[in-house]
Amino acid sequence: MTTTDDYATYIASLPRVLAGAAALYRDATGRVLLVEPNYREGWVLPGGTVESDRGESPRTAARRESAEEIGLDLPLGRLLAVDWVLGAARPPLVSYIYDGGVLDEAQLASIRLQEEELISWRLVEPGELPAHLPEALGLRVQEAYRVQQSGEGTAELENGRRPDAS
C-alpha cells in the first residue's frame, strides 16, 4: 500500500460532522424572519446544509439557501454564532448563523418562498422566539440575536448554550 492509500484510508476512518448555515434577518423594529418548512414541525431561520462536497463554505451556503428559500440574494454580515450540536440519530452538526441585516419594506414584500420546502414565513418578536423554535435552535437564535444587538464577538455555543454558562 502506498502512502497515498494509507492517507485515504485514514481520512475515510475519521468521524463525520454535518454543517448547516443560516441567516438572521430582521425588520426595522427588530423582529426576526422565520420560515416554516413542510418537511418538519416548527419554524427555522432561512438556511440549510453546507454542500462541502462541492467546496461550499458556510457563508456561501447561508446566502445560497436564502436566495433559494426566500428569493433574497443579499450579502451577509458577520458571523454571529457557531453551535456544536449533538444528535442521537445523526452525526454532530456545526451550525453557523450570519447577520442577514435589516430588511426594508420592499425587500419583505419581495419574499418568494421555495414551495418545494416552505409553507410560510413570519416576523417574530425576539422574546417570542422560544415559542416558535425547537429548544436548541431557539437558544442558538436568541444568542445570535443578542450578540448582533450588543456588538459582541461571535458566540461559541454547544447545543445552543455557551460552554461556560452553568
pLDDT per position as a tens digit, 118-163:
999 999 999 999 899 988 899 999 999 999 999 999 999 999 999 9
Pick from 17-21, 59-63, 66-70, 108-112: least confident: 17-21
Give the Cα separation of 158 and 140 in Å (integer).
9
pLDDT above 60 (res 63): yes
For the chain, what is the total number of helices (H) and then of strands (E)? 5, 7
| pTM recorded for the entire structure | 0.91
Give the Cα separation of 26 and 70 in Å (integer).
14
pLDDT per position as a tens digit, 94-111:
999 999 999 999 999 999
Domain segments of the chain: what residues?
A: 17-158
State which H helix or E strand residue 159 sits in. none
Give, in order, the Cα–Cα distances in Å from 161 to each of 51, 66, 119, 155.
26, 25, 29, 9
* Percent residues over pLDDT 90 in the chain: 78
Task: Please report which confidence band the pLDDT of residue 1 belongs to, taking 50, 70 and 90 as the band edges.
Answer: low
Whole-number pLDDT of residue 166? 53
pLDDT above 80 (res 79): yes
Domain 17-158 bears CATH identifier 1.10.287.130: no
